Structure 1
Amino acid sequence: MFIHLFTESSPNRCTPMRGPLGQSSTPQGCKEPVIPKKGEKRKHSWKDYGSIGWETKEDTLDCPTCRGTGRIPKGQKNQLVAVIPCSDQRLGPQHTKLYVCLSVLLCLVVCILVIFFLFPRSVLLSPVAIKSVSVYFTPNMVNITITNVLNITNKNYFSVELCDLDVQTLFGDIVVGKAKIRNVTMVKPRSRTEYTYDIPVFLDDPGLNTFCKSTAFKIHTLFLHLQITVRVLYLAHSEQLSTDTFEYIDCGTNTTIPHFVQDSLL
């Protein structure tokens, strides 16, 4: 019988002993080697991670990304990112098609409303009437001040601003008066506004001067042609409007009766 003795100074206390029949055995008190043998797979458990501070199972939680097969420390559960698989039902919200259709429908309604309210509509100019006429005689000229009323209609759903009103008065082919006004008025949405303006007329032609001052004629009527132009501003856009009208006045006295004017058919 052969007996193997081991002392404290042995280089390896866990060296297997051979018995008398050639059988090997591990001395009592020795653990299994940590490094597995060649070709052998080692099974891991949560106790294997105890070397980094995870001493007990009570201080760890199930890993959210590995379905409870691993452990993580409780203090780091808010610092880790959980990966959700593509097959998770939380990634497929319900009624997706309904939400998409409602969103598209809402966008269409908003677009239609915006186009309806912001689509440019017409602004109409129409001379209404002669409010008054003042006639003044000088030795070589007849001075006339005509006060007219202009009707402005705004069919838009937003306010428009009128500026640069230009009025030219003609007697036949002769220009007898001009008027230019920079700032006219502001017209509110879907409303109508009357604007009053004055036109100075100067008759220095000898024939017209004699006609208006002569007492041999009982009627001193002049037919005038008015060309009206105005610029309209709205929504950072500018456009020019124009209209023609005809009116008659009495140049012999200052008692011209207020009357409606006639729009041009051109």
Structure 2
Amino acid sequence: MGTAPSRCVGGIDSGSGQAEDGRPIVEKDDTKRRSSGRRHSSGETVHCPTCQGTGRIPRGEESKLVAVIPCTDQRLKPRHTKSYVAVSVAVCLLVSSLVLFFLFPRSILLSPVAVQSSFVYFTEDGILINITNVLNITNNNFGGMQAYNLSVQALNFDTVVGSVSIKNVTYVKPLSIKMYSFVIPVKVTDSELSDYCKKESLPVHILYLHLQMSMTVYYLAHYEQLSLDTYEYIDCGANSTIPHSVLPPPP
């Protein structure tokens, strides 16, 4: 018996699944691609943030994915970056230098000017002398300065003959010099020195004094202790000395 021929319906070979011209009726790969494309175009996906909408990623996995940018991307090489960094560094250095220049603590100087006047009083027990001294206080800072607790001791060789203490002294403006005067009482009780000062036959009676000064200053949010030693000579034989003017220091 011979083999029965295959039947064709509408020009389609039912046994081989091909048309009369030999082409396949349905390509399975094309069908899969079309069905996959329909699935991706549904509401289950969102636009990829790194490919400007040309690609797709599954919805809900945005926080799990990492965007990779090529090294040649211009976003990694913004214009004028070096210029911005250089200008920022220069501005920071300039501001820091100005702050250090204006806020860096500078020295406060104490310097004696002269004896402005001295008044001598003879007593039965000795001699009392009120000496007015002038002191220069120099502020080299860009901020004001307040002086406190001026303490002065007058010594005749190793003997303390007078002392004075002043709590609130004065205020000195920035970059300025202020003259401050104070009175220190000196009492001479030594009999030999007292006789020497009262001796009328001597034209000049020299009393040697050593002044030890200390003062507390407050400036630029900190305290500082200053000290000064100076020497002066007083005529202890005259019962009064005419005050003489003290010229201010040159600017």
Equivalent residue number for residue 69 of structure 2: 85
1:208 maps to 193
Identical pairs, percent: 52
Structure 1 segments unaligned to the other structure (5+ residues): 1-18, 26-36, 55-60, 72-82, 262-266
Q: Spell out the pairing of 1:11-50 with structure 2 (5 A cutoff).
A: 21-22=14-15, 41-43=32-34, 44-45=36-37
Q: 1:127 to 1:20 in 2, by over 3 A?
A: closer
Q: Is 2:174 aligned against 1:189? A: yes
Are residues 95 and 21 of structure 1, via their aligned partners in 2, closer, same or farther at CA, if it must alter by over 3 Å? closer
Unpaired runs of 5+ residues, structure 2, are 1-11, 19-27, 57-66, 247-251
User: Would you say 1:235 and 2:220 are equivalent positions?
Assistant: yes
Match of 2:125, SS? coil
Where 2:194 maps in the other structure, the secondary structure is helix
Q: What is the rounded CA distance, in whole Å, between the counterparts of 1:112 and 1:22 in structure 2?
A: 95
Asked whether the equivalents of residues 227 and 242 of structure 1 are also in contact (C-alpha less than 8 Å), the reply is yes
What is aligned with 1:95?
Answer: 80
The Cα of 1:218 is off from its aligned counterpart by 4.0
Query: How many angstroms does 1:94 deviate by?
Result: 0.5
Alignment counterpart, residue 245 of structure 1, candidates 230, 241, 245: 230
RMSD (Å), alpha carbons? 3.8
Partner of 1:167: 152
Partner letter of residue 69 of structure 1?
Answer: T
CA distance in 1, matches of 2:129, 2:156: 13
Check if 1:118 corresponds to 2:103. Answer: yes
**Residue identity in the other structure for 1:42:** R
CA distance 1:152–1:167, shift in 2 (3 Å): same
TM-score by length of 1: 0.66
Q: Which moved more, 1:189-198 or 1:150-159?
A: 150-159
Equivalent pair of 1:46/1:70 in contact (CA under 8 Å): no
Query: Which residue identity lines up with residue 178 of structure 2 in the other structure?
Result: T
Offset, 1:115: 2.6
Amino acid across the alignment from 1:242 = S
Secondary structure of 1:253's partner?
A: coil
Q: Identify which of 211, 216, 226 aligns with 2:211.
A: 226
> CA shift at 1:168, angstroms?
1.2
Query: 1: CA distance between counterparts of 2:152 and 2:77?
Result: 70
**AA paired with 2:151?**
D
Whole-angstrom distance in 2 between the partners of 1:186 and 1:194 = 11
Q: Alpha-carbon deviation of 1:84?
A: 8.0
